[in-house]
């Protein structure tokens, strides 16, 4: 085994080990049993993150992250993914670059000489980390969307009972299972406790969760407080409207299903049916005229 193979094996092991450590760290707040092994993982993760931060101090990375548009895009993507693995913009950029280098190394080890293959492998490796974070963000937003209608119903009931909006949110959060919506509401409550105004906290919530229902809900609450209208009655009518939109989205998804399933049926289902139906006929025809 040559030096390059050893280096690739060690690199893959370190990446896998780091991924396990980050996964365990993300579950630390939900698990009471945190063993000595997890502490070793945290130590290794801290060491690797120190290396990442040193790499980010180099000229190219520093210049890239100094671009406000690029840094804001990375930060927004990580915020909407729930700050996955505790990554920062430096971490995401490092893993993007590492993925590109890893793609080139794989092409070199496979002894592929086509330049387009090298470019494609480097590009796929470079965007893989960002696509992974975008996938986590989409999953998180879908989870928020699923839990939102029931939450708004409970808010309307709590406001009818005489509770304030934030007090109602805290009361409901105490009974909610851990999910993405609960995490966002916890941030909303913490911001308000630290002195942020209710309007700004709601605007931050809409910024972190770019769902149309969240956007309209926060705008409606802000407008209701500014105009002094009854928030409970507004929320009841809004809940009904939100349920109608959810039914319309379900009907739209059901309408798209035949088109989406057409290609898999043409490729995987119809050929098998044709073989089963016409295969014996073809064999009989061949044996008859042989």
Phi, psi of 81 (to 5 degrees): -85, 0
Judge if 149 and 39 occupy the same domain: no
pTM, two decimal places: 0.67
Q: Which of 86, 67, 89 is closest to 77 using CA atoms?
A: 89
Do 54 and 131 belong to one domain?
Answer: yes
Flag whether 264 is in a domain: no
Domain, as residue range, for 16: 3-139
Mean pLDDT over 231-238 rounds to 80
**In the predicted model, is pLDDT for residue 59 greater than 80?**
no
Lowest mean pLDDT across 141-150, 154-163, 216-225, 280-289: 280-289
CB-hemisphere CA count at 13 Å for 60?
A: 4
240, two tokens: 């009904």
First to last CA, the chain: 57
Count structural domains, the chain.
2
Question: Same domain for 39 and 122?
Answer: yes
Residues 134 and 148 in one domain: no
| Structure-model confidence comparison of residues 3 and 79, the more confident one | 79
In a domain, residue 266? The reply is no
> Does some domain include residue 284?
no
Say if 33 falls within a structural domain.
yes
Residues 190 and 70 in one domain: no
Same domain, 98 and 162: no
Give mean pLDDT, residues 75-81: 87
Asked if 133 and 157 sit in the same domain, the reply is: no
- Which residue, 75, 118, 86, 78, is CA-closest to 100? 118
Q: What is the mean pLDDT of the chain?
A: 77
Residues 129 and 198 grouped into a single domain: no
pLDDT at site 36: 44
Based on the fold, state whether residues 77 and 103 are members of the same structural domain.
yes
Q: Average of pLDDT values for 103-126?
A: 84
Alpha carbons 194 and 259: distance in angstroms, whole number: 50
Q: Is residue 46 part of a domain?
A: yes
Q: Which of 64-68, 170-174, 268-272 has the lowest mean pLDDT?
A: 64-68
Residue 271 forms part of a structural domain: no
Q: What is the mean pLDDT of residues 203-226?
A: 86
Closest CA to 214 of 224, 204, 227, 223: 204
Task: Round to whole Å and give the CA distance between 213 and 193.
Answer: 25
pLDDT at 117: 84
For the chain, how big is the Rg over CA atoms in Å?
Answer: 26
- Give the pLDDT confidence score for residue 49 in this predicted structure: 63
> Is 251 within the bounds of a domain?
no
- What pLDDT score does 286 carry? 78
For the chain, give the percent of residues with pLDDT over 90: 0
Of 139, 157, 179, the residue that ends a domain is 139
Q: DSSP code of 30?
A: G
């Amino acid at each position: 085994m040559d030096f390059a193979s050893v280096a690739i094996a060690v690199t893959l092991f370190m990446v896998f080990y780091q991924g396990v450590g980050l996964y365990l760290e993300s579950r630390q707040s939900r698990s009471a049993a945190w063993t000595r092994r997890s502490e070793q993982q945290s130590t290794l993760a801290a060491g690797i993150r120190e290396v990442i931060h040193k790499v980010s101090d180099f000229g190219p990375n520093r210049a890239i992250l100094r671009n406000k548009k690029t840094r804001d895009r990375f930060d927004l993507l990580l915020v909407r993914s729930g700050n996955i693995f505790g990554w920062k913009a430096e971490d995401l950029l490092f893993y993007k670059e590492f993925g590109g280098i890893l793609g080139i190394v794989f092409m070199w080890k496979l002894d592929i000489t086509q330049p387009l293959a090298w470019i494609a492998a480097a590009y796929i490796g470079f965007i893989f980390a960002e696509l992974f974070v975008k996938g986590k963000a989409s999953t998180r937003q879908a989870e928020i969307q699923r839990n939102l209608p029931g939450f708004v119903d409970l808010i309307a009931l709590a406001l009818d009972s005489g509770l304030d909006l934030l007090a109602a949110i805290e009361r409901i959060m105490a009974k909610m299972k851990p999910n993405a919506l609960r995490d966002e509401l916890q941030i909303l409550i913490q911001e308000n406790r630290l002195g942020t105004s209710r309007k700004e906290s709601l605007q931050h919530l809409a910024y972190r969760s770019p769902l149309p229902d969240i956007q309209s809900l926060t705008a409606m609450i802000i407008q209701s407080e500014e105009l002094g209208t009854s928030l409970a009655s507004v929320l009841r009518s809004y809940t009904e409207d939100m349920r109608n939109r959810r039914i319309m989205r379900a009907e739209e998804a059901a309408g798209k299903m035949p088109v989406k399933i057409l290609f898999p049926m043409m490729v995987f289902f119809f050929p098998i049916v044709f073989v089963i139906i016409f295969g014996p006929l073809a064999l009989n025809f061949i044996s008859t005229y042989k």
